[in-house]
Structure 1
Amino acid sequence: MIKHLFVVIAFLFTTNCFAQNPLEKETDSAKVKQDSIKKIEFLKKLGNGYLPFKYFNLDLRYLIKFNQYEGFRTGLGGITNEKFSERYRLNGYLVYGFKDKRSKYSIGGGFRIHENSNSWINLSYTDDLQETGSSTFLTDKRFFTFFEPRLLNIDLFHRHITKSISLEHKISNHLLSETQFATSKINPTYNYNFVLDEVSYNTFDLSTARISLQWSPFSLYKYQKDRIVETKDGYPKFTLQYTQGIRNILGSDFNFSKLDFRTQHRIIHKNDAQTTLSLVAGIASGQTPLTHLYHAYPNNIRKETILQRFSVAGLNSFETMYFNEFFSDKFSTFQFKHFLKPFKISEWFKPQLVLISRHAIGNMKSIDRHQGISFGTLDKFYSESGFEINKLLFGFGLSFAYRYGGYHLPILEDNIAFKFTFNLSL
């Protein structure tokens, strides 16, 4: 990249110092424009967590991470790009955890069956860990950060060996869908038993069918280089996902269903301020083990003092809620953030104040089915509010949050979370 940038600067300097004929000027202008486009494409891929090579893109998410169960986790991963093939793709990763001394891996691929609707059939085999109580949407776009703050302190994982087949299909420019069928062998890494009909399960098999829809009615699109590209990331966005666990199919132990919903909205104000709103809800019914229930994105570690709990704040997590404090079979969270106009102290120092308020409510039936681990529910309505001062130095800032309402704790400092923030974008 430095070499390319140097070439561009050299071209600009030369064209300003020496007379050229019109044809040469046009040629140089085209080269500069082409180099600029390449630079933008490179930075875009890097911002999405890929380091591009000729036929594949190295996935930066797998280089190094840290959590309480694996310790340092490092490895390599990647996916083939369009220069390899526009109809076929291969992807995979291999990582190693130094604390649990285990390798994890995934291998998969896909083939496109219809170009206009961008329909792909994908297959994968994965042997890895997943955070208990986490829930993701199939249609979520890839999200990359240089490091994941919540991951640092997570200790409740379950191992899963999952085989899956899925179909991606663009119903329209504004409506995306993905359908998946998967079988998984689940083995919690912690002391846990799921009791059902007087039978206790500490490992179990699941067969699940999922369908996910993402609707972006206010995004704008246009044709560019014979392809439809998004020109405006419009809000609000809506995501709906249904999961069905099917008992006695390919050895599956439980029958359950889950319905998940999320809506996100962003308001841009005239004074360079903005407001973001997020509502997430989920409900699980039937024979659902704890591994597939819900937490509410906690991000606080159980230490005695505020300074001992000092860590890094997440992007959308509850900073005063302790890890493994609550689980639910139905829950809802609402988050409000208001980003004030950055304070322009100098050209390079522009800190930004963000006002934050988060709330959660939930409950759980048949809590006695889950044995070996203790936790509470969210039926009393959980609340926290606070602020962040971001971009103080090299992308770092500070965060303060206070816990109040139905789950306010007797000791004052136990309700306070004081942490770093980290915001860096390309």
Structure 2
Amino acid sequence: MSTYALAQIEPNENSEKQANKKTEDSLKKRVFLENIGLGYFPTKYFNFDLRYLVKYNQFEGFRTGLGGVTSEKFSDKFRVNGYLVYGFRDQRYKYSIGGGLRLNEKTDTWVNFTYTDDLQETGSSKFLTDKRFFSFFEPRLLNIDLFHRHITKSISVQHKISNNLLSETQFAVSRVNPTYNYSFASNGDVFNSFRFSTATLSLQWSPFSKYEFINNKIEETVDGYPKFTGQLTQGFGDVFKSDFNFAKIDFRTIHQIDYGNESLTRLTLVAGLASGETPLTHLYHAYPNNIRKETVLQRFSVAGLNSFETMFFNEFFSDRFTTFQFKHYLKPFKISSRWKPQLVLISRYALGNMKSIDQHQGINFGTLDKLYSESGFEINKLLFGFGLSFAYRYGGYHLPSLGDNFAFKFTFNISL
């Protein structure tokens, strides 16, 4: 081959190598940003979990530590995960250690084992199949003071029935101790701490989402709505020394209407029902986010994403409840290329009840048997992701003092 011919080929080869390197660098950057968006700082063999670095709540004060999970480069057949944190106010360490073994790659089937010694907010309810959610800080967490300590051993199986239908089944054994003055009366006995043995089945159905095979992976290309999530939990008495028989049904549906001009409407319906002998730790609140201070300005804090901003912490608990939230995002005001504040109109409603409120001793709370209503608005992204929120409480739970019905807070929205 002539020198001239080589000169023609080599630049093309170099161009191809540069193009491949550019594509590879772009893919690495994308993967890195995706991990950061999920709350992980990725390294070759271990992904550090940013959720455990620094947090704050009313019981622990500052809470800090380290955690993470092994990466696919370490192994795509098994994983090890865990964390260790310390609360400066309660002066206690909390930790979790676990691992998972992949049984089937096509259906993303994993069997997981976990041992956890930590705190959980009383009245909170989580779906096993929820995608991991990460925020630089969690607004509600700042003011939560009602926690119970739990030591939980669990085994779970997560399985993708189809691209649109995810499942997770879990069996767990827990010892629970409230960190506040509380006891539960049941069948002539009074319990100050509790033992639970529970089986849980969670399903998440996204019938309108679409998926494609990209870069050797199935990826969601259309985030379709509505989405449905259901969960069944059964507590077994006398199994591994469990104290109570009870059952819970939880349901959530989210619908989003996108108008194509950066404006959208988001509707969220959540419901829960607990029957049997169920302590307060495993019942429901309605995600309140208002602190008990005398004036509106003293209550000024951070608005949550889906919380009731005028409802006080620990004001209501229910063994059956439903909430409905309406949020309409108007088209952003394009004041400049970088300054685009957005107005969001909000209405929230909650309804619930408690069958045997006298069983719950040492703590005072109300029920939601009358319709709880609040409405307001947010102006987001006014400056560096910060905005303002205003809400007003009315209807069946309107308070006698007018100022107690208002909530004025700031918001924080940032995307990577």
Scaled to the shorter chain, the TM-score interval is: over 0.9
Matched position secondary structure for 2:75:
coil
Match of 2:347 in 1: 357
Work out whether 1:210 is the aligned partner of 2:200.
yes
Cα distance in 1 for partners of 2:324, 2:70 equals: 38
Cα distance in 1 for partners of 2:16, 2:129 equals: 44
Cα distance in 1 for partners of 2:77, 2:13 equals: 39
Match of 2:5 in 1: none
Match of 1:23 in 2: 13
Match of 2:187 in 1: 197
Work out whether 1:148 is the aligned partner of 2:138.
yes
Please report how far the alpha carbon of residue 324 of structure 1 lies from its aligned counterpart in structure 2 after TM superposition: 0.1
Bigger mean CA offset, 227-236 vs 348-357: 227-236
Please report how far the alpha carbon of residue 232 of structure 1 lies from its aligned counterpart in structure 2 after TM superposition: 1.4
Cα distance in 2 for partners of 1:186, 1:227 equals: 40
The residue identity in structure 1 corresponding to 2:164 is H
Please report how far the alpha carbon of residue 227 of structure 1 lies from its aligned counterpart in structure 2 after TM superposition: 2.4
Q: How does 1:165-180 map to 2 (within 5 A)?
A: 165-180=155-170
Cα distance in 2 for partners of 1:23, 1:56 equals: 35
Which one of the candidate residues 38, 41, 53 is aligned to 1:48? 38
Work out whether 1:321 is the aligned partner of 2:321.
no
Match of 1:69 in 2: 59
Which one of the candidate residues 292, 307, 318 is aligned to 2:297? 307
Work out whether 1:93 is the aligned partner of 2:83.
yes
Cα distance in 2 for partners of 1:225, 1:393 equals: 38
Deviations 1:214-238 (A, max 9, x none): 0000111111233211111111100
Deviations 1:76-126 (A, max 9, x none): 000011001111000000000000000000000000111111110000000
Cα distance in 1 for partners of 2:217, 2:15 equals: 30
Match of 2:284 in 1: 294
Cα distance in 2 for partners of 1:28, 1:250 equals: 62
Match of 2:237 in 1: 247
Please report how far the alpha carbon of residue 360 of structure 1 lies from its aligned counterpart in structure 2 after TM superposition: 0.3
Cα distance in 2 for partners of 1:291, 1:64 equals: 25
Cα distance in 1 for partners of 2:260, 2:172 equals: 47
Work out whether 1:260 is the aligned partner of 2:250.
yes
Deviations 1:158-214 (A, max 9, x none): 000000000001111111000000000000000000001121101010000000000
Match of 2:96 in 1: 106
Cα distance in 2 for partners of 1:83, 1:269 equals: 41
Please report how far the alpha carbon of residue 23 of structure 1 lies from its aligned counterpart in structure 2 after TM superposition: 2.6
Cα distance in 1 for partners of 2:106, 2:161 equals: 10
Q: CA RMSD in A?
A: 0.8
The residue identity in structure 2 corresponding to 1:286 is G
Matched position secondary structure for 1:158:
strand
The residue identity in structure 1 corresponding to 2:247 is S
Match of 1:58 in 2: 48
Q: How does 1:109-124 map to 2 (within 5 A)?
A: 109-124=99-114
Number of equivalenced pairs: 407
TM-score, with normalisation over the residues of structure 1? 0.95
Deviations 1:258-293 (A, max 9, x none): 000000011110322011110000000000000000
The residue identity in structure 2 corresponding to 1:289 is P
Matched position secondary structure for 2:301:
coil
Work out whether 1:333 is the aligned partner of 2:323.
yes
Cα distance in 1 for partners of 2:193, 2:38 equals: 36
Work out whether 1:419 is the aligned partner of 2:409.
yes
Cα distance in 1 for partners of 2:406, 2:224 equals: 35
Work out whether 1:410 is the aligned partner of 2:400.
yes
Matched position secondary structure for 1:21:
helix
Cα distance in 2 for partners of 1:74, 1:172 equals: 38
Cα distance in 1 for partners of 2:254, 2:319 equals: 22
The residue identity in structure 1 corresponding to 2:87 is G
Cα distance in 2 for partners of 1:29, 1:366 equals: 68
The residue identity in structure 2 corresponding to 1:269 is Y
The residue identity in structure 2 corresponding to 1:408 is H
Deviations 1:388-417 (A, max 9, x none): 000011110000000001000011110000
TM-score, with normalisation over the residues of structure 2? 0.97
Please report how far the alpha carbon of residue 25 of structure 1 lies from its aligned counterpart in structure 2 after TM superposition: 2.2
Matched position secondary structure for 2:30:
helix
Cα distance in 1 for partners of 2:187, 2:19 equals: 75
Which one of the candidate residues 168, 171, 174 is aligned to 1:181? 171
The residue identity in structure 2 corresponding to 1:60 is L
Question: Quick one: percent identity of the two aligned structures?
Answer: 72
